Amino acid sequence: MTDHPPASKRADADTSARHPSPTHAVRWGNVSWIVSLALAAVVGALLFVGGYLAGGGGGTTSCALPDPAFDAFCEAYGRLQRDYVDELDAEKLAEGAIEGMFQYGLEDPYSGYMPADEYQLALGDLSGSFSGIGAEMAIRNTEDPEDLAACTEISDTCRFVVLAPLADSPAEGAGIQAGDVVLAVDGESVNGSVIDDQIARIRGESGTDVTLTLQRDGTEPFDVIITRAEITLQEVEARLIDGHIGYIALNAFSAPASEQFAEALGQLLEDGADQIVFDLRDNPGGYIDAAQQIASQFINSGVIFTQESAGDEVRVYESTGEGVATDPDIPVVVLVNGGSASASEIVAAALDEADRATLIGEPSFGKNTVQVWSRLENDGGVRITISRWFTPEHNSVAPGGIQPDITAVRTAETPPDEDPVLDAALAYLADQPVADEVPQQLPSISPAARLHGRLVIGIVAARAIC
């Protein structure tokens, strides 16, 4: 997914400005002499999505359309203006038209419209940094903890809770603790809303305050005022297991992911790792070039994946040749599950087909499309599928996903302190020979790894970090 402005985010594709200047839609009354002007405004917003320009200025008497099929749209809007009993909100009508065009006009769940708050929230996730308080949040079903599917909205049963404050964050500094229940944000109850809405409300401009009403261990509610700051997400978790197995987990393919990953992997090797467990479980994807960079840490040369667009346009992504763990004598296992999607599948498939890794876990999600993101004049955005990607052997992961070499499953009944998938990986590695000496080096990050504006390939949704 990409976005067009600004130039500071632009590479082969763009992401949106994080703080664009808003263009506010005008509210129209029920006065018949401004019908044509309202039509031009609404249709202009609609046609912007398709790349068309509405002809004429604000005073035109016609509705400029890309196709005669849109005549009915203008007619329907005109009848609303003429006959509807209450005042119309042109902004809401325009958003509804755009959303409906994607929802009902396309058979593609990955193309769609995002309102302004949702769009900005997703852009912050992709950039790897945002302004907020630095706390990981979740919904907890207090009646049946295992039935999270029942918690579509926050309520007295489905509580909005703090999983943990991030280290050195404003939330930690304000004394926020794991398990705290958030009852209200800036005095407004969270009940009846969804978690993404509350994440968007808690995030905000650096230096501004947000007040959370909390309840801790069933005590009386109390307010905490937290000053927002810039939060940089740490996408990588790395540690040594048994003194020689390097475990490295990647949360998302965001802007800082490839550099963080290369540094952490290099440090594991320097610390004595001679085997690698690469955990891609529940990683929903992200930037397409981050997938290339990260796969290149294990694959010395050759194709990582190909991207195929309309008109037989094909782009081949090859290894950068700058990896720190390309030695075939370093055994690698990759952990995947149904939440491993898109960019995760690019990396897993490339390592699998290059015979560079053994896949352990469950079948992956099965998504092989690439989206471009664009900002609209109302500060919302659209994501549009522009191409498909294929593995080095020109296989598609859709719809069945990548099949693991060794099946291992973590179920709802698995105790929190147990991980049968990781256990299966460690058991497999125990039988693998290792090199007598593993090269110990820290990575050199190429300029390509520092790109900030990229095609996005993933199921990108608001992450529960505010």
Full 3-state SS string of 150-180? HCCCCCCCEEEEEEEECCCCHHHHCCCCCCC
Sort 224 into a burial class: Cβ within 10 Å, 0-12 / 13-18 / 19+.
Answer: middle
CA distance 107 to 114: 17
The reported pLDDT for the residue numbered 384 is 94
258-281: pLDDT as tens digits: 999 999 999 999 999 999 999 999
The reported pLDDT for the residue numbered 245 is 98
CA distance 212 to 411: 34
* Calculated CA dihedral for residues 266, 363, 110, 134, nearest 10 degrees: -50
N-to-C CA span, the chain: 22
- For residue 207, count other CB atoms closer than 10 A to its CB: 10
Q: At what angle do helices 35-50 and 71-83 cross, to 10 degrees?
A: 140
Q: Which residues are the active-site residues?
A: 342, 367, 371
DSSP state of 450: G
The reported pLDDT for the residue numbered 218 is 85
- For residue 55, count other CB atoms closer than 10 A to its CB: 13
Domain limits, the chain: 17-108, 130-232, 236-458
DSSP state of 447: G
The reported pLDDT for the residue numbered 15 is 31
- As given in the structure block, the two tokens for residue 8 are 């500071």
SS3 content of the chain, % helix, strand, coil (to 5): 30, 25, 50
* Calculated CA dihedral for residues 38, 40, 46, 48, nearest 10 degrees: -140
Domain 130-232 identical in fold to domain 236-458: no
CA distance 92 to 238: 46
Whether the link from the prior residue into 420 is cis, omega within 30° of 0, is no
CA distance 195 to 138: 8
Q: Say which CATH topology domain 130-232 has.
A: Pdz3 Domain (2.30.42)
Contact 130, 124 (CB under 8 A): yes
- Cα–chain-centroid distance for residue 183? 26
CA distance 336 to 350: 13
Q: Which of 387, 294, 299 is nearest to 343 (CA)?
A: 294
The reported pLDDT for the residue numbered 319 is 98
- In terms of residues, how long is the chain? 466
Architecture of domain 236-458: Alpha-Beta Complex (3.90)
Low-confidence ranges of the chain (pLDDT < 70): 1-64, 435-454, 457-463
Contact 266, 443 (CB under 8 A): yes
Q: At what angle do helices 288-295 and 257-270 cross, to 10 degrees?
A: 10
> Which residue has tokens 């191409």?
387
The reported pLDDT for the residue numbered 462 is 56
For every residue of 349-397, DSSP letters joined together read HHHHHTT--EEEES------EEEEEEE-TTS-EEEEEEEEEE-TT----
